[in-house]
């Protein structure tokens, strides 16, 4: 199976036959627990993607992994749990290959942890789900490519927050929290490390940054100050 070549164009068939299987393989190699998981990946052109995802959102009571305030029209992928249906938008020659690699791995991580999302009725909030997914996407791809240079991020502030947190909470614990979707354990770890009430302060600012990316400077400054302790 070939390595990623981030130069050149992607076709729908290349995505289905090469990019998706390779992405699953490198996630499996990095995180072996995902080898037993099954995802259903659908690569759809823009019109079919918009129609299908809108229908899925209107006919299921289960939220997608993403915040529902993100409109389907501007999304590049969505994952619905617990069935692990991963929908990827294919927009032809408009695709930037490096960004699409990010999109595929990010959505597959949602899908490969889907069954845990509804384990014991534990559902992680959108801001934490996206933040941790972005962090572990980066770990997967940077380890595989042996470089962190130039890797695209859809959620740079969320990635930075978890990166700072990894200096306080070991990465293995963060992974366990992500797998179990255990927001209570996340809260407990932060309050133990940073003092009671720290999680509530952190979450409030993380949620604001997630929902207001264009006016997030002050909230990010508070996050950085809190996590610099």
> For position 119, what pLDDT does the model report?
47
Q: Which residue has the tokens 């490390």?
A: 193
Name the pTM for this structure: 0.89
> For position 60, what pLDDT does the model report?
61
> For position 69, what pLDDT does the model report?
38
> For position 176, what pLDDT does the model report?
94
CA distances from 159 to 130, 154, 166 (A): 9, 9, 11
> For position 95, what pLDDT does the model report?
72
CA distances from 195 to 15, 78, 183, 199, 226 (A): 46, 36, 17, 8, 10
Write b or e for each residue in 103-131: b if 16 or more Cβ atoms lie within 10 A of its Cβ, otherwise e: bbbbbbbbbbbbebbeeeeebbbbbbbbb
Tell me the C-alpha distance between 122 and 111, whole Å.
Answer: 16
Q: Which residue has the tokens 């264009």?
A: 214
Q: Which residues of the chain have pLDDT under 50?
A: 1-2, 6, 61, 65-70, 116-119
> For position 72, what pLDDT does the model report?
54
CB 89 within 8 Å of CB 137: no
Neighbouring-strand partners of residue 85: 40, 80
> For position 3, what pLDDT does the model report?
61
> For position 2, what pLDDT does the model report?
46
> For position 70, what pLDDT does the model report?
45
What is the DSSP code (8-state) at residue 34? G
């Amino acid at each position: 199976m070939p390595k990623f070549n981030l130069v050149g164009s992607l076709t729908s068939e290349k995505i289905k036959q090469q990019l998706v299987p390779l992405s699953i393989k490198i996630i499996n190699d990095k995180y072996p627990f995902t080898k037993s998981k099954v995802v259903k990946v659908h690569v759809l052109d823009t019109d079919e993607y918009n129609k299908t995802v809108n229908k899925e959102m209107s006919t299921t009571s289960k939220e997608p992994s993403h915040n529902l305030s993100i409109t389907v029209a501007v999304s590049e992928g969505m994952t619905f749990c617990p069935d692990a249906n991963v929908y990827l938008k294919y927009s032809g020659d408009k695709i930037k290959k490096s960004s699409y690699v990010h999109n595929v791995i990010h959505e597959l991580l949602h899908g490969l942890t889907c069954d845990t999302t509804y384990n014991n009725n534990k559902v992680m909030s959108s801001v934490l789900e996206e933040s941790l997914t972005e962090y572990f996407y980066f770990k997967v791809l940077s380890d595989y490519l042996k470089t962190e240079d130039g890797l695209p991020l859809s959620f740079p502030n969320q990635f930075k927050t978890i990166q700072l947190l990894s200096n306080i909470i070991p990465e293995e614990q963060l992974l366990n929290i992500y797998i179990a979707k255990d927001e209570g354990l996340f809260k407990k770890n932060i309050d133990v490390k940073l003092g009671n009430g720290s999680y509530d302060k952190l979450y409030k600012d993380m949620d604001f940054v997630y929902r207001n990316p264009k006016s997030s400077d002050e909230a990010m400054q508070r996050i950085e100050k809190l996590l610099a302790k």
